[in-house]
Structure 1
Amino acid sequence: MVHNVSTHITNCSRGIRNAWHFYYALILVFKVVCGGFGIALLTP
């Protein structure tokens, strides 16, 4: 019983960690895209 609970907690934390990695990757892509658009708009 205790083992199942600890395994469940580990799986939850792993899912949260993966979600954070996905979130940071998404923000990085967003910044790159926005930066690209900003440069394209600023250059005549």
Structure 2
Amino acid sequence: MNLKTKIKVLIVDDSAIVRKILSRQLNQHRGIEVIGTAPDPYV
């Protein structure tokens, strides 16, 4: 994988606290970018 390429992640979980924790943890990695969160897949 190219160092300039980031893995883009969309976090979908019904728990706001889980979304927040996952988002914080994943954003700490250089190669991962959280592009958004949602409480369900229908938003």
More helix by share: 1
Is the TM-score greater than 0.5? no
Tell me the TM-score normalised to structure 2 length: 0.34
With CA pairs under 8 Å and 6+ residues apart, which has the higher RCO, 1 or 2?
Answer: 2
More strand by share: 2
Bigger radius of gyration among the two: 1
Tell me the TM-score normalised to structure 1 length: 0.34
